[in-house]
């Protein structure tokens, strides 16, 4: 079945995304919560620095 060309166009309602939670990247040892220092030190020892994926997973 084909759409009628003379049919009125109905615009879809604008889609609003829910607000996305923002996370603070952890790049310094002082930002690590208590108990997480060991994991932070292991990442630094193996990679030399905290990169984008690890900063959000900390």
Residue 12 has a pLDDT of 66
Residue 39: strand, helix, or coil:
helix
Which residue range is the domain that position 56 belongs to? 24-58
Query: Does 12 fall in a domain?
Result: no
pLDDT of residue 54: 80
Give the Cα separation of 34 and 19 in Å (integer): 29
pTM: 0.55
| Residue 41 pLDDT | 93
User: What is the per-residue pLDDT for 2?
Assistant: 61
pLDDT tens profile 19-54:
877 888 888 999 999 999 998 999 899 988 888 888
Note whether residue 46 is domain-resident: yes
Q: Is residue 33 part of a domain?
A: yes
| Of 11 and 43, more confident | 43
- Total domain count for the chain? 1
Is 7 among the domain residues?
Answer: no
Q: Look at residue 37 and tell me if it is in a domain.
A: yes
């Amino acid at each position: 079945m084909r759409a009628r060309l003379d049919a009125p166009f109905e615009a879809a309602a604008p889609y609003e995304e829910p607000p996305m939670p923002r996370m603070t990247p952890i790049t310094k040892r002082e930002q690590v919560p208590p108990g997480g220092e060991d994991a932070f030190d292991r990442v630094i020892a193996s990679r030399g620095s905290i990169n984008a994926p690890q900063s959000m997973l900390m």
